Chain A
């Protein structure tokens, strides 16, 4: 009697456990938001939301009743959970939306009885994402041509050091900027030499450059910058204040009164995107990254293209490195890049080897850093050591969960040896 039942089971689709589990997770998040962020602030607590950026107090904000607002958000989260269970809408979009709503609810709760400036959060996210985004552009330019640049961290660190040293010696910020970019390009050339001419494994060559940069800059910091502290001052690239426009509400501080690197980042993201997809160089580079032998048969020189891209990538990483000195306080400190070159590589993957995608991924990491700061400012009752893990937790979640399977350039990491 059991045989027909088994046959019926075989025919029906397998139960989508994964979908159910994620749906239940959303429902759990909804309950969490309702109980922790909503219910206990329900009586009468307000969160004031303002849009002033760095002009604190310029305009009054919106008074939002914390409890009511978060209860509404919990209801929305519950709907998303339902949609996930019923398989309505794309799972990736639902996940992004659910996480966004959860973070908003948490921030509004953290700032209960206080003022939360949204433009300031956006500004600080943007600033924190600069080295990651420009570093990720370096990764995209290299990997699209088939060379994995794991040396971004080392190139950034060396550029930060060289820019400080040259700025301190010459007192000229532009010389400092140029020498930092050059230092990055030089290490890019070294990576190209090792991985293209001598066909050393690209991961190993890149990693050796990282280790070299750490040792080299630490040693010179102790032996040069500590002995002559007056040299440890690169100067700073001044903020671009576009006159009175930076006083325009909301958009003013965000768009018109920012660190010069923020503009450089935006310009680079779009120009590299256009160059990669709409120019002859971009087409050739991508073809070399996908199938160098095919490219060679139509007369493209893969080695030359790869040399060019890896050196350009090094220069970009160098620019990202100068942000730590010229874009900040102008002082160098050993290991000051603190692994952001590696997070940039994650942004490359998360962004699907596309400049704009990588930029958006970098913004996500920048937001994670900024979230950590915001939660600290409002004294959220979470151990600060756990708060400081947020950006790295986001990195792991992003790589493991959100991305799923992405497709790298086919010849990424493969050496091309001329027959």
Chain B
């Protein structure tokens, strides 16, 4: 271990800088509601936060939406789900509309449309080609992207193969299109060298149906050939390939496979590649030890990118652990989690200063972002910040205005695939611990920027 970073303080001198950067970012966020739709969504979100039964009904409707192809089925489900929320006056009104003989169809149609529009805000296109204009638009505006292909769960080899093919096609499509993009020096080079224009995030769980929690070697063997193929395509087209992290059950397999492949001679120099560190895992400091040890043993022409996230499976990890009688692998205390995020941020930025990794700080928490920016500034480094398409649009705009390097994580997929993603984002967005929720509820800036 390099240092006992989890206990290290940011330093007393950093706090004023964090507060200043945070306030500047808020000042730069677009204040005028650009579209009436955004205002409606905000109201819906507000209603859901205040009304847990309605929230449950809405989630379940979003979840079942893709399975209802005819309007009658759609109306039936909407009515039944709203009827379950019988403590919620708003849901009762909705249920009456969804049950009324005259209003049934119209209500279901409006609800379905609402869901689709919401999904579209988070999803950048149905496929790579469809998404090209939006990706180029972001590039021109000064934001890089990483593209993520949504899809059904992989339960067969055929499905794994089809996902790998879609990834390949996406890399080629983006490679082709990106050549015509104008130059954006800020996005194409950092102190450690050139940065690829094309950036794809992949999921190992989609590359093989063989991931087994008690037998990581099966998932590793199952995904190895396909991930190697994608690394080769990325290398040959000069793209960046980023391996996403998923639930804790698969963490070991994903980390071991990724590092094993990147250790192979054919990938020693290229492509640019990355992995994810999940700060909500209590063991994440040790995971970072392992990654940094690997970077020392395997110096690369293109340093390994480590994307630091909080982690998106908190409910899943907690519920699974409680049902089995295990200690949850994730922090149960939000402030402890936030402190860990900051400690890991500093260690990553320190490692970037040594030239061994590229840090990518992915967060919608204003305090976490301001802390990363302040620490990077203090070390004289340019660190990449990442946001989710749809959820972090305002943060992205503020970061761009502040002249910082931003990458938007952009899911691509059809409606069916988008729903599971949308449900997760909605859950995150309206959960008790959500920073965005606190922000939306008008918690004052000093509190939001407080040291965790």
| Genuine A/B complex | no
Partner-A contacts on B (CB < 8 A): none
Partner-B contacts on A (CB < 8 A): none
